[in-house]
Amino acid sequence: MGRPKAALSIGGRPILQYIIESLRWPGPTLLVTGPTREHPPGCEFFDREVADPVEGEGPLRGVLTALQHSATELVVVCTVDMPAMRAEHLGWIAGRLLERPQLDGIMIRRRDGDRELVEPFPFACRSAAADAIAAQLASSAPVHSLLDRPRFAAEGAPPGWPPRIWTNLNTPDEYEAFLEETGQRGD
């Protein structure tokens, strides 16, 4: 991206503020930041903030940190670079996990034309997933490789979900396209 994603703004608001206001999540919120990126703009809109203890270990480290600091049995992880996610999407994945007590974590499968993709985020997991996630982190395996473990699964996304929710801001061009598409200029 060329700069920390938490430094982006959407519609004149810090991206974290935009996300938390768009989500309107009914439960507690926990912001996980990198050890050198604490207190980004918009962090005050979260109930709590914690920093990963180790820099540069990627998204699995963030998931593990969230589990280690969560006060709830179930954690739903949404990333800063997916600003089109809404509470209904996170609630849906949380519901799928609640319906399947034999699982420790669940991801989403979706169709993109002729391809089937596994989206590592949003990701819902139970606190019991911490050991498996720590093992995956130690092996440097990507998030979706958790699906190779017996207590993790991917469930197909509902067909009515708009493609926009899968927007992932990894490049300046993707960021600019999102701002243009949603009419959220104002930075």
Lowest mean pLDDT among 47-51, 104-108, 163-167: 163-167
pLDDT at position 185: 72
pLDDT at position 112: 86
pLDDT at position 83: 95
- Torsion on CA atoms 154, 96, 84, 112, rounded to nearest 10: 40
Q: What is the mean pLDDT of residues 94-105?
A: 97
Which helix (H) or strand (E) segment is 3 a member of? none
Query: CB burial class (10 A; 0-12, 13-18, 19+) of residue 142?
Result: exposed
Phi, then psi, of 176 in degrees rounded to 5: -60, -40
> For 2-42, what is each residue's pLDDT tens digit?
788 999 999 999 999 999 999 988 889 999 998 888 899 99
In angstroms, the CA 96 to CA 176 distance is 33
Which residue(s) pair with 153 in the sheet?
Answer: 106
User: What are the start-end ranges of the H helices in the chain?
Assistant: 15-23, 58-69, 87-98, 130-138, 172-182
Farthest CA pair distance, the chain? 46
pLDDT band at 186 (very low <50, low <70, confident <90, very high): low
What is the b/e burial string over 98-114, where b = at least 16 CB atoms within 10 angstroms of the residue's CB?
eeeeebbbbbbebeeee
Pairing of strands 9-10, 13-14: antiparallel
Is the pTM higher than 0.85?
A: yes
Q: What is the mean pLDDT of residues 93-118?
A: 95
> For 31-68, what is each residue's pLDDT tens digit?
999 888 889 999 999 999 999 998 888 899 999 999 99
pLDDT at position 61: 93
Pairing of strands 30-33, 48-51: parallel
CATH code given to domain 5-182: 3.90.550.10
> For 114-141, what is each residue's pLDDT tens digit?
999 999 999 999 999 999 999 999 988 8
